[in-house]
Amino acid sequence: MVDFHSHILPAVDDGSKNTSESLKLLSMLSSQGVDLVCATPHYLADRESVDEFIIRRDASYNELKQNLSSDSPEILLGAEVAYYDGLSNLDNLEKLCIGDSRLLLVEMPQSRWSEYTIKELINLACSNRFTIVLAHIERYEVIRNRELLERLLKSGILLQINASFINGISTRRRALRYIADGWVHFIGSDCHDTVHRPPFLGKAYSFIERKLGTEFLSDYAEFQREFLFDSVN
């Protein structure tokens, strides 16, 4: 199974504080059946350049790599890029895509999205430079705006939800419907630590398997891998 969104790299952002915590998170993910983890630390353009971020991120990964056990999930490096109006003009934005794919995980503002913002997102998605994936889409009111959601999907934007949306008793039915309808392409633990925001992906994937079947789940995993490893996407 794939964890598309995580903060498992040590001391890069507000996620894992050190290598020991990162190893515990990876062990938890592995025990939940996750064999591929996208490491997506927060990237904020007003704090540092893309190149500065990548140097910090890669140094953290290299430190972690020396301590990984042989049964650790595979790790792909990426970022959770904080959206701002003008993001499309940021130098080297492509370097923040996950692994060798063209998937760019973007975190949107909590406030209502302006038409300018929506157009910039769609322009980015249509620019052929990226495949935009919107992080934890359940956090935004767009999730209840079917017309806007369809507009985003039609422009090639993909959607990610957090495992907590699938695990929540009051939200799981809705989450399942979005997945079954093909509106949600990726699921992430968005884990930050082992205590307050630990990974609960195993529970989420088990629920999907129970409700939609083993074949659906294996097709879903295959589809996710194709996106991550096919450099055309």
Instruction: Note the residues at the interface with Fe ion (CB under 5 A).
Output: 80, 190
Q: Judged by CB, which is closer to Fe ion: 138, or 190?
A: 190
Q: How far is the CB of 70 from Fe ion (least distance, A)?
A: 28
CB of 161 to Fe ion, least distance (A): 12
Helix, strand and coil percent figures for the chain, each rounded to 5: 45, 15, 40
The smaller minimum CB distance to Fe ion, of residues 174 and 197, is found at: 197
- Spatial strand order in the sheet of 36-39: 2-6, 36-39, 74-77
The pair of three-digit structure tokens given for residue 173, joined into one six-digit string:
């039915």
Given the complex with Fe ion, which of 3 and 120 has the nearer CB atom?
A: 3
Instruction: Give the residue with the Cβ less far from Fe ion, 13 or 120.
Output: 13
- Measured from the CB atom, the residue of 21 and 190 that comes closer to Fe ion is 190
- Say if CB 85 and CB 109 are below 8 A apart: no
Least gap, CB of 190 to Fe ion (angstroms): 4
In the complex, minimum distance from the CB of residue 78 to Fe ion, in angstroms, rounded to a whole number:
11
Cα atoms in the 13 Å half-sphere on the side-chain side of 47 = 10
Task: Give the nearest distance from C-beta 6 to Fe ion in angstroms.
Answer: 8
Buried b (16+ CB within 10 A) or exposed e, 170-194: eebebbbebbeeebbbbbbbbbbbb
Q: Which residue is nearest to Fe ion (CB)?
A: 190
Structure tokens at 232: 């055309």
